[in-house]
């Protein structure tokens, strides 16, 4: 995956207790949720869950058509995702999920059978827009970015991570924050 001689692209791995935490990598479209969750999952050897794979087809079609989802639209998506996470039996789980609204956040917080750690990826709007325009084969159009930013409500306990930097540095920042949580 990395060029020979490149070394370990993710040298920082906090020594964590094998807890059953859910690390929610959240943010609007284009913030890098899937990329960062995948890199963190690989680094830490944790299970990753991609929220987008749990959307019913009608949600995908609605968003692809430029129509933002309502919390009512999100119910089946959350049911599927929460069931999947609750069926995971191995160690911590990393979830790539927009988790924009208090409805989504509350359902995850109260229905997932793990403690939730919220990690909000912070990226300037211009960068988000550029990433969305450059992205191919994804159902979320750039035209929904303003709706996503308007809907975004950060949970009070969320840890904000600067995600406008290289992937290894973002993962280092997340691991540092996780270590701080683990060790006070």
3-state secondary structure 51-85: HHHHCCHHHHHHHHCCCCCCHHHHHHHHHHHHHHH
Name the CA radius of gyration of the chain, rounded.
Answer: 16
Distance CA 101, CA 90 (A): 28
pLDDT tens sequence across 127-167: 998 888 887 665 656 667 888 898 899 999 999 999 999 99
Q: Are strands 115-122 and 159-162 parallel, antiparallel or unpaired?
A: parallel
* Cα-based torsion angle of the residue sequence 64, 66, 67, 68 in order, rounded to the nearest 10 degrees: 90
Read off the pLDDT of each residue in 9-29 and give the average, rounded to a whole number.
65
Beta bridge partners of 62: none
- How far apart CA 12 and CA 27 sit, in angstroms, is 23
In angstroms, the CA 97 to CA 18 distance is: 22
pLDDT over 60 at 1, yes or no = no
Q: Which residues pair with 95 in a beta bridge?
A: 24, 49
The whole-model pTM stands at 0.84
CB atoms within 10 A of CB 26: 26
Q: List, for residues 69-93, the tens digit of each pLDDT value.
A: 888 998 999 999 999 999 998 889 9
In the prediction, which pLDDT does 62 show? 86
Coil, helix or strand at residue 100: coil
Looking at residue 90, its pLDDT comes to: 81
Convert the pLDDT of each residue in 93-126 to its tens digit: 999 999 999 999 999 999 999 999 999 999 999 9
* CB count in 10 Å sphere of residue 89: 7
């Amino acid at each position: 995956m990395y060029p020979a001689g490149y070394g370990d692209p993710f040298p920082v791995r906090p020594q964590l207790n094998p807890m059953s935490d859910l690390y929610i990598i959240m943010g609007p479209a284009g913030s890098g949720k899937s990329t960062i969750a995948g890199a963190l999952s690989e680094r830490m050897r944790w299970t990753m869950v991609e929220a987008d794979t749990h959307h019913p087809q009608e949600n995908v079609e609605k968003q692809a058509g430029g129509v933002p989802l309502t919390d009512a639209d999100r119910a089946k998506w959350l049911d599927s995702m929460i069931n999947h996470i609750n069926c995971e039996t191995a160690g911590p789980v990393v979830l790539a999920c927009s988790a924009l609204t208090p409805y989504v956040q509350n359902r995850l917080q109260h229905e997932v059978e793990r403690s939730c750690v919220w990690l909000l990826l912070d990226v300037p709007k211009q960068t988000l827009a550029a990433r969305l325009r450059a992205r191919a084969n994804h159902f979320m159009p750039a035209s929904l970015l303003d709706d996503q930013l308007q809907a975004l409500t950060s949970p009070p306990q969320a840890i904000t991570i600067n995600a406008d930097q290289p992937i290894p540095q973002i993962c280092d920042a997340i691991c540092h924050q996780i270590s701080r949580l683990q060790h006070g």
